Homo-oligomer: A and B are copies of this chain.
Amino acid sequence: MTARSSTDPARVIPEATVARLPVYLRALTALADTGIRTCSSEDLATAAGVNSAKLRKDLSYLGSYGTRGVGYDVDYLRYQIAREIGVTQDWPVVIVGIGNLGHALANYSGFRSRGFRVVALLDADPSLSGEIVAGVAVRPFDELEAIVHDHDVAIGVIATPASAAQDVADRMVAIGITSILNFAPSVLSVPEGVDVRKVDLSIELQILAYHEQRKANGAEAAAPVAPVADGGAA
């Protein structure tokens, strides 16, 4: 057993594993909610929609938290994963751009219950200032710096149009935000040490469309031909 201690800072968890840990956490929570106290890697893998060997390997990066012949204690493993991810306490988050999507995000209760707390909603449009969304007031974008410093915010969410996204990101980085979740369809450029993840609905749909077309072309030859569709920075 190489099993590094979970407090060993040299231990490195593969990125693919990191991306699955939240899925396991959610699956464990679902199991716990149905009263299940113990589960095998097979059970958990099924609930999480992955292969059980992959699950066991993923968990082995965290340490040795199971019992051979028995399985995993649901609550214990849940706590270990939550600690590993860093959601045993809440992370303060700011959302910038309170339009269609920003409103939905602000109203999303799953935020709070999964380790995040929306401390501020910011928008450049003065006519939105003062509006209360889900108990939080919309404030002018200028106040970003004060808010970030007051609440020690490390994570920012961008829900502005693509044209404003880079500017907003630059401001966030200048102020000290080091993790950004970007919903705008634009490539952000940020300095070393700042993490950016993007959520892009159109890309997801286009990936589905590609496979859909392939399924269709299994029978028929090729798709009809027409003008190129891509609305740019819409």
A148 within 8 A of B: no
Complex CA–CA separation, A109 to B162 (angstroms): 13
Contacts of A116 in B (CB 8 A): 202, 205, 209
Partner of A88 from B93, B115, B227 at Cβ < 8 Å: B227
Most buried by B among A79, A103, A229: A229
Q: How far is the CB of A196 from chain B (nearest CB, A)?
A: 9
Q: How far is the CB of A50 from chain B (nearest CB, A)?
A: 9
Q: How far is the CB of A54 from chain B (nearest CB, A)?
A: 14
Q: Is the CB of A23 within 8 A of B203?
A: yes
- CB under 8 Å from chain B, chain A span 148-190: 154-155, 178-181, 185, 187, 189
A64 within 8 A of B: no
Partner of A114 from B27, B199, B229 at Cβ < 8 Å: B229
Q: How far is the CB of A115 from chain B (nearest CB, A)?
A: 4
A138 within 8 A of B: no
Contacts of A21 in B (CB 8 A): 206, 210
Complex CA–CA separation, A226 to B87 (angstroms): 9
Q: Contact string, A131-151, partner B, CB cutoff 8 A, digits 1/0?
A: 000000000000000000000
Complex CA–CA separation, A137 to B185 (angstroms): 27
- CB under 8 Å from chain B, chain A span 82-141: 82-91, 93, 100-101, 103-105, 107-116
Q: Is the CB of A205 within 8 A of B181?
A: yes
A56 within 8 A of B: no
Q: Is the CB of B231 within 8 A of A7?
A: no
A213 within 8 A of B: yes
